[in-house]
Copies of this chain bind each other. A is one copy, B any other.
Amino acid sequence: MPEKLEHLENESVEPTQGDGETSTLRRREPLTRERILRAALRVMDEEGLEAVTMRRLGRELGVEAMSLYNHVEDKEAILDGILEVVMAEFQFPEETGDWEADVRAGARAWRRLMIDHPTVIALFAESKHPASSPERLRPMEWAFDLLGRGGLSEDEVVHAFRAFGGYIMGSVLNEVANPVPGMGDRDHHAEHVQLAGELPPTEFPNLVRLLPLMAECDAEVDFEFGLDLLISGLRAKVEASGA
């Protein structure tokens, strides 16, 4: 429903057509930080980070670039804002009482978020200030809460949070920067296989053998493998400290 509105505005781009119509009551949907951020996220998802320019966002909203500055500090503020919007989309999984299953579901939810907006990884990698808005903090709070219910010490909760967070972040980064099929373009499959074929087999025997395998494997299965590793490691830790 908000999309509808925004598309309508795309058509009211006529620049300063100062006829009598300008004096109608509702000239146009007023600009908002909210609307700017949503447009930015949409452009970023559809055309990548480099398409997100002030002029482009202005065009998208039927407004000149400079008008955006009445609602946001900076372009950087927009980029930070995108992270907010994305994090606000976090789908808190409902809890089952099975701790390991819940941790797994939480990790998947987090991954889903990044996969749905792959470019946010680049945003994270460039972002200057650490998270501070409630939207970005709420999923963290939830994760801490969940981890805390598994019998870990406070230190271990913090460490586990960063371990899982790191793994999720990184595996999505790898998946996005070095895509494998199962999700996304299949081009890279052929690319990998071809690369493996061209490599000098004496110098790169393992790559020659395993690169095609890697190209074949499904991204989600892959993610689950590492997740299993982490969770079984965590279980061992809990059992050890419990005994």
A residues touching B (Cβ–Cβ < 8 Å)? 49, 121-122, 124-127, 130-132, 134, 137-138, 140-141, 144-145, 148, 154-163, 165-174, 176-179, 188, 191-192, 195, 199, 203-207, 209-210, 213-214, 217, 221-222, 225-226, 228-234, 236-237
In the bound complex, residues from chain B placing their C-beta under 8 Å from that of A132 are: 195
In the bound complex, residues from chain B placing their C-beta under 8 Å from that of A213 are: 154-155, 158
Partner of A130, one of B126, B192, B222: B192
- The main secondary structure of chain A at its interface with chain B is helix
In the bound complex, residues from chain B placing their C-beta under 8 Å from that of A209 are: 154
Q: Do B169 and A163 touch across chains, with their CB atoms under 8 A apart?
A: no
Smallest CB separation, A15 vs chain B (Å): 32
Give A174 to B110 CA distance when docked, in angstroms. Answer: 15
Identical copies of this chain, number: 2
Give A65 to B179 CA distance when docked, in angstroms. Answer: 33
In the bound complex, residues from chain B placing their C-beta under 8 Å from that of A166 are: 167, 170-174, 226
Q: Do A225 and B130 touch across chains, with their CB atoms under 8 A apart?
A: no
Nearest B residue (CB) for A194: B132
In the bound complex, residues from chain B placing their C-beta under 8 Å from that of A158 are: 210, 213-214, 217
Give A207 to B171 CA distance when docked, in angstroms. Answer: 25
Name 13 interchain pairs, CB-CB below 8 A, sorted by A. Answer: A121-B173, A125-B176, A141-B204, A144-B207, A158-B213, A159-B226, A162-B174, A162-B225, A163-B171, A167-B171, A229-B233, A232-B232, A232-B233
User: Residue among A162, A173, A199 with the most chain B CB within 10 A?
Assistant: A162
Q: Do B173 and A171 touch across chains, with their CB atoms under 8 A apart?
A: no
In the bound complex, residues from chain B placing their C-beta under 8 Å from that of A204 are: 137-138, 141
Give A24 to B34 CA distance when docked, in angstroms. Answer: 63
Q: Do A178 and B233 touch across chains, with their CB atoms under 8 A apart?
A: no
Q: A163-B225, A166-B174 are in contact. List 15 more A-B contacts (CB 8 A).
A: A124-B125, A124-B173, A125-B126, A127-B177, A137-B204, A154-B210, A158-B214, A162-B222, A166-B171, A166-B172, A170-B173, A228-B237, A229-B229, A232-B236, A236-B236
Give A233 to B229 CA distance when docked, in angstroms. Answer: 4
Nearest B residue (CB) for A146: B206
User: Residue among A127, A138, A204, A213 with the most chain B CB within 10 A?
Assistant: A204
Give A214 to B137 CA distance when docked, in angstroms. Answer: 14
In the bound complex, residues from chain B placing their C-beta under 8 Å from that of A141 are: 203-207
